Amino acid sequence: MKYLRQFVIILGVSFLGEILRVILPLPVPASVYGLICMLLLLKSGILKVGQVKEVSKFLIEIMPVMFVPAAVGLIESWNSLREVLIPVAIIITVTTVFVMAVTGKVTQAMMNRKKKGEQYAGDYK
């Protein structure tokens, strides 16, 4: 019964996300609204982690199975995708390298700023 209750809570939050998608005039998917609602409920303390923990772990464990229908759909569309495969692969590679480089530079800048802050903080002690 505990698992059913946890699953109903998660379904309720997901349904709330669907309602928000219909009500709000923003181009945001219902799943994003649902995740934001879940975050707000957990952070505010209205919902405790223990109230959804076991079912959440189960859903995360079976998540790879949920990608099978999408992969089958891609395989069925192979003839259409073959024409754009190389440009898409190039775009994905270039943007991935770009994102990794920017992330690395931002991380280095933040770490250098933190080191300088610690260095100057020692002068005032």
Q: What is the pLDDT of residues 6-52, one digit of tens each?
A: 999 999 999 999 999 999 999 999 999 999 999 999 999 999 999 99
Please tell me the predicted confidence (pLDDT) of residue 117.
74
DSSP 4-16: HHHHHHHHHHHHH
* Confidence label for 121 from pLDDT (cuts 50, 70 and 90): low
Report the Cα 73 to chain-centroid distance in Å.
22
Which DSSP category does 77 fall into?
T
The dihedral sign for the CA sequence 111, 102, 64, 12: positive
Mean of the pLDDT values across residues 86-106?
A: 97
Residue spans per domain, the chain: 1-64, 67-125
Which DSSP category does 25 fall into?
-
Give the H/E segment covering residue 56: helix 53-61
* Residue 56 near residue 10, CB atoms below 8 Å: yes
